[in-house]
Structure 1
Amino acid sequence: MANSKRELFIKRRLRNRNKLKKFSGGKPRLSVHRSNKNLSVQIIDDAQGRTLAAASTLEQAHGVVGRNNKDAAAKIGAIIAERAKAAGVEEVVFDRGGFLFAGKLKALADAAREGGLKF
């Protein structure tokens, strides 16, 4: 019964994604991906299969290239909220993937909420 970290991550991701599909009600999905060095966020419309807005720490204009900390996450959260409003999106469902909702993800979510996104 010893599961590897990767297997547990995949189980969490699938469990989270299935709940989102069940309760999303057609809202776009705010999808977060975290690597060791960077953080990426996308707002995805699953009905049309297209990305409405995106932000990442790889964008040099924001001054957080290669950073993956709470400050960078908060900055990316504010940026994605601004871009979502520009795209006409006000309400989303938060797809954390298999990542735990703590630390960087919580900072990102709080900044996005302060920026005007509802989830």
Structure 2
Amino acid sequence: MSRLAISFCRRQQRRRYKLRLNNAGNRLRLSVFKSNKFIYAQAIDDANHITIASVSSNSKDFPKDSLKTYGMESFKWIGKQIADKLKAKNKTKIVFDIGGWKMHGCIKALADTARENGLEF
């Protein structure tokens, strides 16, 4: 690998982990991961190192007959589901961890839907 590629990888890793270091464990972290086929969102308590709630487009309750597993509507569905699960556990203040992705398109749709359904970040 060239020096430029190595420095880019290090910058990308720093960008991904910066939020985890700055979140002093006082809020839940909503982590979003997207693969080529599926979307995963989970609320993580960094102080206790546990996952509070998780939703994915690979789960059984995902409406596969009405939604594609990877589209704008599925990101909105996941945002609504994770917000509902966290509100049921009386957790509304979170930090949104986009994991190095840019905040536009599908990730922004997930974040906006989660905000509309009661999460604060």
What TM-score range do you get, normalising by the shorter chain? 0.7 to 0.9
Which blocks of at least 5 consecutive residues in structure 1 are unaligned?
A: none
Superposed CA RMSD:
2.3
Give the alignment of 1:40-51 within 5 angstroms. 40-51=40-51
The Cα offsets for residues 52-94 of structure 1, whole Å up to 9 and x where unpaired, read as 0110001132214761111100010000000011122110000
**Share of identical aligned residues, percent?**
34
Q: Which structure has the bigger radius of gyration?
A: 2
C-alpha contact 1:30 1:42 (8 A) present in aligned 2: yes
**1:13 and 1:42, CA in 2 relative to 1: closer, same or farther beyond 3 A?**
farther
Change (3 A) 1:13 1:68: farther
Q: Do the aligned partners of residues 22 and 77 (structure 1) sit closer, same or farther apart at CA in structure 2, a change above 3 Å counting?
A: same
Where do 4+ consecutive residues of structure 1 move more than 4 Å? 7-10
CA distance in structure 1 between the partners assigned to 2:23 and 2:116 by the alignment: 23
Report the alpha carbon displacement of residue 25 of structure 1 after superposing the two structures with TM: 5.9
Q: Which residue of 2 aligns with 1:53?
A: 53
Change (3 A) 1:100 1:8: farther
What number of residue pairs does the alignment pair up? Answer: 117
TM-score by length of 2: 0.84
- Confirm or deny: 8 A CA contact 1:16 1:97 kept in the other structure: yes
Give distance in 1, aligned partners of 2:75 and 2:40.
9
